[in-house]
Structure 1
């Protein structure tokens, strides 16, 4: 993928997103009505948005080759997000959901900042653990809604799109402007720290 003139601007906007973020739970008043609303939900919860894009960024920046290295972490996150959401819909309760979501931003931000490479299964497992908590939060918000399945499908589709956006940005910056994703990673990590501080 070739670097375009707009790519650095997109990366800078990504880095600034956490500065205008809201907390995850209840950001949309827990009103979900089908696929479109489900698709838009992760885009209005900036902590979820930042986590999704960070997973894609990290994957692209640390991949040894495009296939299949780019897919391990995003696939692990998407699968475990779905598993967590289904568990939440079923009434499963986990402790420290919000602190774990905040911690996911801290860890993912640091991974983007340092561009630390992990073995494929380790990368998928690491992000998958955090994805369960993101999924539980979404599932609990959807519990009891008649359109829960379609809303969840929309959320999962948005997650894949956000992973793709992160991958596209990261892949285009692999050989130039590498400070831009590092700046984005630092911003996501600081956002995680701020959320953790607010929960203390």
Structure 2
């Protein structure tokens, strides 16, 4: 488990370094774009829930999935973001995002033990739609690179939060952690239905 944590930490450190790589200048457009990028996933409850559930899912799978699943989400979300910025249409993106919350919440509640390849495929597919919405809603005066770096870092941090919360819940009470995770995933899935039906 230590090596997995180290790998995930290395990936997180790399993602955190993206603003300096992508934006060598520190103009107003860059800083504004970065702040908008950081805030976009956090301000949307549907995005936040999906990304935290990805972290919980990765923790439940353990092993290589602990860092592969979140990494795949971040990378595929960046691809979706590029499509959104480029004006490429992705039909029913909001519908798929609501479905992603339902599916990921259900996976967590049921503690589905999927192979890593399937797990990364599922989260990667959803990530494209999340990224597309982020990219399509990028402010006109924002730096694209800084904005992308912002929402990638915010996403990675939300994944890390899901992993950290799962770890601490298990450590506090291994006996009741399964029930807590069931309720957590169930609540997320119900929220997803709320997004899907327009109740939330």
Unaligned runs of 5+ in 1: 2-31
Q: Which residue of 1 aligns with 2:161?
A: 165
* 2:65 is aligned with 1:69: yes
* 1:185, distance to aligned residue in structure 2 (A): 0.5
Superposition TM-score, scaled by structure 1 size: 0.77
Give the secondary structure class of the aligned counterpart of 1:105.
helix
CA displacement, residues 82-114 of structure 1 (integer Å, 9 cap, x when unaligned): 000001111110111110000000000001100
Superposition TM-score, scaled by structure 2 size: 0.77
Give the secondary structure class of the aligned counterpart of 1:177.
helix
Aligned residues, how many? 166
Give the secondary structure class of the aligned counterpart of 1:94.
coil
Distance 1:34 1:94 in 2: 23
* 1:50, distance to aligned residue in structure 2 (A): 0.7
Moved over 2 A (4+): 143-146, 171-177
Give the secondary structure class of the aligned counterpart of 1:142.
coil
Distance 1:176 1:167 in 2: 18
Contact 2:40-2:151 within 8 A present in 1 as well: yes
Contact 1:72-1:121 within 8 A present in 2 as well: no
Q: Which residue of 1 aligns with 2:181?
A: 181
Distance 2:196 2:111 in 1: 23
* 2:193 is aligned with 1:193: yes
Contact 1:57-1:166 within 8 A present in 2 as well: yes
Distance 1:69 1:108 in 2: 15
* 1:168, distance to aligned residue in structure 2 (A): 1.0
Contact 2:33-2:139 within 8 A present in 1 as well: no
Unaligned runs of 5+ in 2: 2-30
